[in-house]
Amino acid sequence: MKKILVPFDFSSNSKNALNVAAQIASKANAQLELLHVNLASIYSAPFAEYAAAGGYATEDGQYDETAASELEKIKMELIGKPGFDKLQVTIRVEEGYLHSSVRNVAQEDDVDLVVMGTKGASGVTEFLVGSNTEKVIRTAPCPVLAVPEQVTTFSPKMVLMPSTLKTDQASAFRTLASWENLYEFHVKVLYLNNPSGLATDGSAEALKNRFAEAAGLKKTDVIITSGTLFEDNSILVAADMCNAELIVMATHQRQGLSHWLFGSITEDTVNHSHIPVLAIPIGWRA
């Protein structure tokens, strides 16, 4: 892990996520990049043909300069804290939608991880709109760590990894193995819903062992659940039962009609989890 991107909107939630990202960066000897996205520009764009557009451009320029100045203050405060004085931190201000800006910056700067705070979404908002974190998870080219606002420290000793144990899960196992080198945690692989119909006589354990061995993952065992219509709830219950401090999930990043019809267990879990969730795109290089 060489570079960590932190979307930052100056809220207490994003400040908390930055602190968690700094802890990870310090342990991994990675660079931090703070990104603030000026959302106002997407509303002024439709008025570009009118004479007043010049005023919008001036205001946007002033906003970007102010945001950059405030980011610089946040950066100096961060590296002034004990343990963070050697962190390499850069700042960046972009204009547009948050999820597309995060995706573009992550691609341009070869980012290995996005860390962002989440408050989740529920009810009609969750169904129709979703949260910014959901949209970033759906479109980011790299893993995304969603940090609930009540989580202030990050040093997981027990990790829950829901998995179908199908071949497309290999990259998630490899990514988790690289994190294990940093934190030396124990992994509980949750074989959710027994999706492949494997017998409970050790078949799932054997399959998990092949994935873990290929990835170099050391301390693992399997939890098998019975069928359920609410996978995200089963994941959160299992996380509580094993005292997990981190949930790690592979995601297919469904979009458009596919996302509307089938949804995303990962995004649902992020919205309702009280512990951090690491979402890893299927096929991510690890």
Q: Which one of 148, 172, 196 terminates a domain?
A: 148
Residues of the chain with confidence (pLDDT) below 70: 41-61, 120-130, 193-202, 225-230, 253-263, 286
- Count of structural domains within the chain: 2
Q: Does residue 187 sit in the same domain as residue 233?
A: yes
pLDDT at 259: 42
Domain match, 139 and 178 both? no
Find the domain containing 133 and state its range: 3-148
Q: Does residue 153 sit within a domain?
A: no
Asked whether residue 286 is domain-assigned, the answer is no
Q: Are residues 169 and 81 part of one domain?
A: no
Same domain, 8 and 144: yes
**pLDDT of the residue at 89:** 97
Q: Which pair of structure tokens corresponds to residue 82?
A: 């004990």
Q: What is the pTM of this model?
A: 0.86
Contact residues for 133 (Cβ-Cβ < 8 A; gap 6+)? 116, 117, 118, 120, 144, 146, 270
Last residue of a domain, one of 148, 176, 191: 148
Looking up residue 190, the CATH number of its domain turns out to be 3.40.50.620
Span 119-163, pLDDT tens digits: 754 433 333 334 788 889 999 999 999 999 889 999 999 999 999
Residue 62 confidence (pLDDT)? 86
